[in-house]
Amino acid sequence: MDTGAYSGALHCSKIKVVIRKSDGKRVLRFTPSDNHAHTTEVTKFVRSYVRSSTGHRVKRYLFDTEVVIKGVTYCIRIGLSNRSDMNYEILIGRRFLSDNNILVDARINQELDIDREKKS
């Protein structure tokens, strides 16, 4: 899990705002993790500036959702981004971690490789 940035992000493709034909509502439609079989829609979202991994200000779509960590459900605001160049598909931002008194033990990641197999 990536925790370096201020706010959270989820790797997605095909991010676009569309008018849903069934009810005429404006929705944010995206495909998480390049899973072309699963498209997600949210009706409550904002577009805001965030700082990218390269330090530039970019506009991203953000929405509120829930994340479960160690059996506890938390509300979190997540931005949508193409994270294909990153090691992890999801980034849990340090603001969320701090606000919820969650500590990530980086030693665990150092003992495991990207495929979650023990390093020798």
Q: Report which DSSP code applies to 102.
A: -
Is 44 a domain residue?
A: yes
pLDDT greater at residue 56 or residue 100: 100
Is 37 a domain residue?
A: yes
Q: In angstroms, rounded to a whole number, what is the distance separating the alpha carbons of residues 73 and 57?
A: 30
Least confident of 11-15, 56-60, 80-84: 80-84
List own/partner pairs for 58-64 with CB under 8 A and 24 or more apart. Answer: 60/9, 61/15, 61/17, 61/28, 61/30, 63/28
Rounded average pLDDT over 81-107: 80
Is 74 a domain residue?
A: yes
Structural domain count of the chain: 1
Is 100 a domain residue?
A: yes
Structural domain boundaries, residue 41: 8-111
Cα distances from 60 to residues 48, 53, 89, 114, in angstroms, run 6, 13, 16, 27
Is 103 a domain residue?
A: yes
